[in-house]
Amino acid sequence: MDIKIWRNACQNLETEVSKIEDDYSLSRPIALFLAARNISGKGIDEFLNPKLSNLSDPYRFTGIERAVARLWEAIQKREAILIHGDYDTDGITATALLSWVLKKNGADVYSFIPHRFDDGYGFTPDSLHKAIDTLEKDFKVLVTVDCGTTSNDAVAEATRLGIDTIVTDHHDPSSELPQALALINPKLDPKLKDLGMLSGAGIAFKLSHAFVKYGRENNLGGFSVKLDEILDYVALGTVADIVPLLGENRILVRHGMEILRKQLRPGTRALIETSKLRNELNPSDITFKLAPRINAAGRVGDAGIALKLLESENIVDAYHYAEILEKYNGIRQGKEQEIFNEAKLQIEKNHDIANQYSILVAGKNWHQGVIGIVASRLARDYNRPAIVLTIQDGHAYGSGRSIGTLNLLEMLNESAKLLERFGGHPMAVGLGLAEEKIAEFAKALESSVRSHLRASELEEATLHDGIIGVEDLSDDFFEMLPKLSPFGHSNQKPLFRLNNMEVVKCMPAGEDHTRGVLRGLTGRSIDFIAFGRRVAEFQTGQLDILATPQINDYYNVKKPQLMVTYIRFSEA
């Protein structure tokens, strides 16, 4: 049985739920789902029918017209254009999509992905010179993707070299901005707050949209480019970067998944097949299968291989690069598990976890490429913000992951005097500090987190979308269910509580799983599957369950089913 606290997201929203049911003729489970996410009024139709035509005008970004005019000028003058990306999935897909759009319009484009260990993070003077030396081109225009907002020195160096720099990024700015030709970042303009959740690939898409629009308006080109053809890249980058799947992200990922499922590119086809994905793709396949393989290149090898895969023009090359990523991913998994095991031992020996609000672990020469994943696992397992540091030559380099609504970047800012560098997102950060400062920083971090989190937020709890009966899961509900997707960050799959369920039948499904039939109080029955739960857990009395309704497609026979996540005995 489960000990987690079950919290009802619609506890005090019955009026809103009833209004949604009545005004929009929607089933109760759908109304609960929408109310739990604070979606109402005209937002309901936009949520259920996310249309590409609802994307906002890319010209809303200050300086974006100047940026795309310069790109068209470079094409006309046959000037070489450099795209400087980043080594994660978001940065790599942003690089690939922008390169594709520019090349389709005759640009002389070259891409550079920095090496995580040799070049460090982001756009720097060193990475600029390495790109120029490696590619051996006289660049006149440079576009950063998924980086550059805080790269003052690098932009200044590019200017000194006679290169016009266009920054496209989604990271938080510092107090001083780089003097670039254009800064395309929604975090710089309060009027673009609705676009602040876009990923690096999403921002690169906005630049591409503006580029094509400007070219058509001024009769320069762009007429043969269909922007929906790059939405597979956007979906990969957006889902991988764990940004909210709401607003424009929802539109881009909904349509991007459709393109990705078609496997039109040799690279995505090879990646999907080597990942052994056979069923219809969904965002969770990006999160758990595709993105880890793309990221593995930057974590334990050469991120440029991942870019070559995505840009492959024939299936032979694509399979070659996909197999390299498969090997990288195996190495990544091994190193990750090794460090995770060491970190867990450290926590058990040195931490009073029941009375701590944060976790900080450090190890000598832990592989820097995987410590972010370890931090994610620790934060999830212990429900506490976690920072993992690797110590090398007297310095510590690390990654952190947050929980709930805690802004971990703000926590680091409160301890800035102890750090040599830090940056990132509210939920994911990177940092560096001297080895002798680790203990002091751990105390400061704990103090900051304690001042921003309540003890109740550290309790193991599950938020569900409300209480329903089996009879509420009608044909209308299951017909509407696909419209609730794509599921991911800030739009999790529907999770409902069903009380007083009787086990009609249950049997093992493999070694550790159970399937069978449950019956509600009204007598209606439904199939269920419970992963990681054995038959013995379903043997006694009536059960309350938390479950996700879905359609089980087994050999083309489609049947409603509950995927049971949590169970407990019903109260008498």
- Residues 65 and 208 placed together within one structural domain of the fold: yes
Does 522 lie in the same domain as 385? no
Same domain, 9 and 93: no
432-449 pLDDT, tens digit each: 999 999 999 999 999 999
| 177 in the same domain as 77 | yes
User: Which two structure tokens, joined as six digits, stand for 361?
Assistant: 């672990």
Nearest to 92 by CA among 74, 115, 108, 68: 115
Assign 378 a pLDDT band (cuts: 50, 70, 90). very high
Q: What is the CA radius of gyration of the chain?
A: 25
Q: Is the pLDDT score of 1 beyond 60?
A: no
Tally of domains in the chain: 3
Residues with Cβ within 8 Å of residue 292, at least 6 apart in sequence: 329, 332
- The token pair at 167 is 């920054």
CA dist 541 to 148, 174, 517, 523, 553, Å? 59, 59, 14, 16, 30
Where a domain ends, among 224, 250, 270? 224
Exposed/middle/buried for residue 258 (C-beta within 10 Å: 0-12, 13-18, 19+): middle
- Burial of residue 554, with CB atoms counted within 10 A of its CB: 0-12 exposed, 13-18 middle, 19 or more buried: exposed
Q: Is residue 501 part of a domain?
A: yes
Average pLDDT over residues 270-297: 93
Of the listed ranges 257-261, 389-393, 460-464, the one predicted with least confidence: 460-464
Over range 204-214, report the average pLDDT.
98
39-47, Cβ contacts within 8 angstroms, sequence gap of 24 or more: 40/16, 44/20, 47/250
Look at residue 311 and tell me if it is in a domain.
Answer: no
Query: CATH no. for residue 21?
Result: 2.40.50.460
In a domain? residue 372: yes
Q: Looking at the domain assignment, is residue 325 inside a domain?
A: no
Q: Is pLDDT at 190 greater than 70 in this prediction? A: yes
Spatial distance between the Cα atoms of 280 and 261, rounded to a whole number of angstroms: 7
pLDDT at position 236 is 98
Is pLDDT above 80 for 137? yes
Query: 178: cis peptide before it, omega within 30°?
Result: no
Among 188, 209, 224, the domain-final residue is 224
Quickly state the pLDDT bin for 405 (edges 50, 70, 90).
confident
Average pLDDT over residues 367-376: 94
Domain boundary among 408, 436, 458: 458
**What is the average per-residue pLDDT within 512-536?**
93
Which tokens hold the place of 525? 């029955």
Does 190 lie in the same domain as 160?
Answer: yes
CATH, residue 385: 3.10.310.30
Are residues 75 and 219 located together in one domain of the fold?
yes
Decide: residue 108, CB within 10 A, 0-12 exposed, 13-18 middle, 19+ buried.
Answer: middle
Euclidean distance between CA atoms 138 and 82, whole angstroms: 10
Q: In this predicted structure, which of 182-186, 509-513, 543-547 has the lowest mean pLDDT?
A: 509-513
Q: Does residue 364 fall inside a structural domain?
A: yes
* Same-domain check for residues 111 and 220: yes
Give residue 3's pLDDT. 58
Contact 81, 102 (CB under 8 A): yes
Predicted pLDDT of residue 426: 85
What six digits make up the tokens of 502?
């009787």
- Residues 12 and 157 both lie in one domain: no
User: Residue 2 pLDDT more than 70?
Assistant: no
Q: What is the pLDDT at residue 77?
A: 98
Write down the mean pLDDT value for the chain: 94
Cα separation, 560 vs 539, in Å, equals 23
pLDDT (tens digit per residue) in 474-494: 999 999 999 999 999 889 999
* Whether residue 409 sits in one domain with residue 497: no
Statement to judge: residues 449 and 529 lie in one domain: no
CATH number, domain of 191, equals: 3.90.1640.30
Q: Is residue 304 part of a domain?
A: no
Q: Is the pTM of this model over 0.85?
A: yes
Q: What is the DSSP letter of 286?
A: I
pLDDT at 554 over 80: no
Give the tens place of pLDDT for each residue, 33-89: 999 999 999 899 999 999 999 999 999 999 999 999 999 999 999 999 999 999 999
For residues 105 and 177, state if they share a domain: yes
Question: Is residue 295 in a domain?
Answer: no
Domain that holds residue 400: 351-458
Write out the DSSP string of 365-418.
T--TTTHHHHHHHHHHHHTS-EEEEEEETTEEEEEEE--TT--HHHHHHHTGGG
Q: Are residues 448 and 509 in the same domain?
A: no
In a domain, 275, yes or no: no
The region, left, alpha or beta by phi > 0 then psi within -120 to 50, assigned to residue 263 is left
